[in-house]
Chain A
């Protein structure tokens, strides 16, 4: 019995296929969300939501589009949250923020300098951060990242390079220039 291959004729409504989809894609979608939010719990919630939406619409989603569908839902959610966060920010500006903001977590804080990296990553615009982490941590190629983000390969290339430059500036290690 081959366990991670969809049975060809069936839809994602099939329990078995649905489970395979979860095993295949949940972690990768989770990572994508973490790179956007820097928030593990939020990312977990949206993964759940995306899969429930998938289940609800299983008849409309062909097997081969499942992955793209999950990303689309996630991206819509990201847009929603950032939009409402922005409007919330307008009102917040005048009030004094007493709650200390927790350091966001984009990567696993295994070593001490990882915490510092997380802080620097938080300053980076997400349009650089997300493709950069997909490339460097998840080892995805430009083409795949371009598909996920819905931008051209050229701009993925550029954004990753911008991320490198950004990091270099931030970490003050551009001592040598050739």
Chain B
């Protein structure tokens, strides 16, 4: 019974070169177990839905309230933190109302600014935006934002961005928040963020976007994927973007007031890009060309008409 299985063992351990393997497969030693070994050649592993598992994991890990039976130990850690979080929310509520923030930074139309936050986190402000926060960050790292900003958050305690339209909470990551009027958009470049909008929580991972328009997250693919927001490279990129959002973007960068004439189709959408270094005239010409419109300029006011 005790036979020499050195070769078989080597074969099973993937030690053979392809040539050695071929020779071995012709041997008697192999033919003895050939059928069994080959039975397992095309066997697949049991399906595992990694993405879903990660989402489930996050629910337990990042949202302490939704206890789901089995995994008890975590709560010990999270209960005090959730209490802290709700206190934090309360405090932030008062701050928002009393406007008692020590530091404020803002940009005018067409401006761009980089800001160092108290803990080495960084923020970049797009045009016509404003952030406010306390000079000393003790237990909470909180920022109030109006407009659009990109954040690179140093690791540490939770980091919260409040806007009039919703709240974004993170643990250490890169993300962009845009709030213009009722538009509220969050884009996650790295790590993970939690978006609270009208009582609904959404968790975003890299390349996920949340938009108040669709009320859900979407995965961004193709040429819209980037490492940081386009506006930081001083360009705006539109892909099937509604015309009123394009106009809003232009008026913020060039500090003009753009009006669409009544008879223009308000449901137009635009795909294209422009650089903030381009002159307003160039940008308007390109825009008008592709949507067959004309524009008339009168000082700070631009009127768009049918072409």
Contacts and interface: CB of A to CB of B under 8 A. Distances in A.
B83 interface: no
Nearest to A26: B50
Contacts, number: 119
A40 B39 CA distance: 22
Interface residues of B, number: 42
Interface string A124-144: 000000000001111101100
Contacts of B32: 176-178
A139 B33 contact: no
Output the residue of A1, A16, A53, A114 with the most chain B CB within 10 A.
Answer: A16
Contact of A16 (B57, B70, B190): B190
Interface string A146-178: 000000000001001100100110010100111
Interface residues of A, number: 52
A136 B54 contact: no
A171 to B, nearest CB: 7
A138 B43 CA distance: 10
Interface string B194-223: 000000000001000000000000000000
A6 interface: no
A157 B8 CA distance: 10
Nearest to A136: B40
A10 B192 CA distance: 17
B171 interface: yes
B103 to A, nearest CB: 26
Interface string B72-87: 0110010000000000
Contact of B192 (A19, A51, A105): A19
A74 interface: no
Interface string B37-67: 1011001111110100110110011000000
B54 A164 contact: no
Output the residue of B43, B46, B50, B71 with the most chain A CB within 10 A.
Answer: B46
Output the residue of A27, A52, A135, A139 with the most chain B CB within 10 A.
Answer: A52
A45 interface: yes
Contact of B45 (A113, A137, A161, A178): A137
A48 B288 CA distance: 54
Contacts of A142: 13
A30 B48 contact: yes
Interface of A: 1, 10, 13-16, 19, 22-23, 26-27, 30-31, 34, 40, 43-45, 47-49, 51-53, 55-56, 105-108, 110, 113-114, 117, 135-139, 141-142, 157, 160-161, 164, 167-168, 171, 173, 176-178
Given A19-B205, A26-B54, 14 more contacts: A26-B50, A30-B46, A44-B48, A44-B53, A47-B53, A55-B61, A107-B43, A135-B12, A136-B40, A137-B44, A161-B9, A167-B39, A173-B36, A178-B32
